[in-house]
């Protein structure tokens, strides 16, 4: 469970950075190109973290080792169809 807490804390820090970045974009203190590039990177990393957390929870639920979960590629996590 400690690893899950670390992932959740990382998600929280990414969300905080996303909020700061959006504020900086609105205030014009960073260029739109830089801001949007970093936002895209944050979105991918957040999706990967959420995916990893879901994998770990599913493995635990079904009696598997959550440590076997791994970060999946951008192509995988961004290609999900709901």
E strand or H helix that includes residue 38: helix 32-61
pLDDT of residue 79: 84
Q: How sure is the predictor about 82, in pLDDT bands with cuts at 50, 70 and 90?
A: low
Buried b (16+ CB within 10 A) or exposed e, 18-55: beebeeebeeeeeeeeebeebeeebeebbbbbebbbeb
Q: How sure is the predictor about 41, in pLDDT bands with cuts at 50, 70 and 90?
A: very high
Domain boundaries defined on the chain:
2-78
pTM: 0.89
């Amino acid at each position: 469970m400690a690893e899950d807490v670390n992932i959740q804390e990382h998600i929280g820090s990414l969300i905080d950075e996303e909020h700061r970045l959006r504020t900086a974009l609105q205030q014009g203190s960073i260029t739109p190109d830089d801001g949007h590039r970093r936002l895209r990177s944050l979105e991918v990393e957040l999706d990967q973290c959420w995916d990893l957390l879901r994998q770990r929870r599913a493995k635990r639920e079904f009696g598997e080792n959550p440590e076997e979960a791994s970060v999946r590629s951008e192509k995988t996590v961004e290609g999900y169809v709901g």
